[in-house]
Amino acid sequence: MSAVIHASVQMELPAEANAVLRAEMTPQVAVQALLAAGRPQDALTLLARLLPKRYAVAWVCQCAREQALTQEDRAGASLAEQWVREPSESNRRAAFEFAHAGGYRSLGAWIAASAGWSGGSLAPATQETPVPPPEHLTARATVAAINLLAALEPAEFDARRKAFIERATSLLQAGGGEA
């Protein structure tokens, strides 16, 4: 199964999006095809899953850096950025615990979750038996964070989301796609 089709299935893209995709498409072509078909949410979802996790988190952090954020949102972005710079378990755990403590109710929590769900365990730190996150959870948090970033200016949501997507399509080539 191609990376594009695997990512589409894993992210549960709707039949209308899958009708646009072909197994032989490169990740960049697949994302552009969804955009051209007027399916930006599906393009965002596929893009977030095809990017290597560290690239996806770095992308969200880059987009967040240019926004006027609350103190809480900046704190979550800072933790995610720390993980991008040094993807250690302690940095991942700090991002995960920030997102979890905030109940995933803020933009900052979703940015932090993108890093926090990248690996390790979702169980409490004191639990011996690890609970690894499903492989697509970083992508799910990335999609939520990008949509929330776009929604910071509701009247420009569609244009902002598309600009964020366009910014990251070059990362697909650089990262080679992950799925």
Give the start-to-end residue ranges of the domains of the chain: 3-51+170-175, 53-155
Cβ of 51: how many Cβ atoms within 10 Å?
29
What was the pLDDT predicted at 84? 98
The CA distance from 142 to 173, in Å, is: 18
Calculate what percentage of the chain has a pLDDT beyond 90: 93
What was the pLDDT predicted at 122? 95
Cβ of 161: how many Cβ atoms within 10 Å?
19
Classify 14 as helix, strand or coil: coil
77-to-13, 68, 94 alpha-carbon distances in Å: 27, 12, 12
What was the pLDDT predicted at 179? 45
Mean pLDDT, rounded, for 134-162: 98
Mean pLDDT, rounded, for 148-154: 98
What was the pLDDT predicted at 120? 96
The CA distance from 59 to 146, in Å, is: 9
Question: pLDDT digit string (tens) for 36-77?
Answer: 999 999 999 999 999 999 999 999 999 999 999 999 999 999
Classify 83 as helix, strand or coil: helix
| Residue 172: pLDDT band with limits 50, 70, 90 | confident
| Residue 178: pLDDT band with limits 50, 70, 90 | low
H-type alpha helices, the chain: 3-10, 15-18, 27-36, 40-50, 53-65, 71-85, 89-101, 107-116, 137-150, 157-175
Q: What is the pTM of this model?
A: 0.94
Average pLDDT, the chain: 95
Question: pLDDT digit string (tens) for 94-128?
Answer: 999 999 999 999 999 999 999 999 999 999 989 99
| Residue 1: pLDDT band with limits 50, 70, 90 | confident
For residue 23, what are the contacts with CB-CB under 8 A and spacing of at least 6? 1, 2, 4, 5
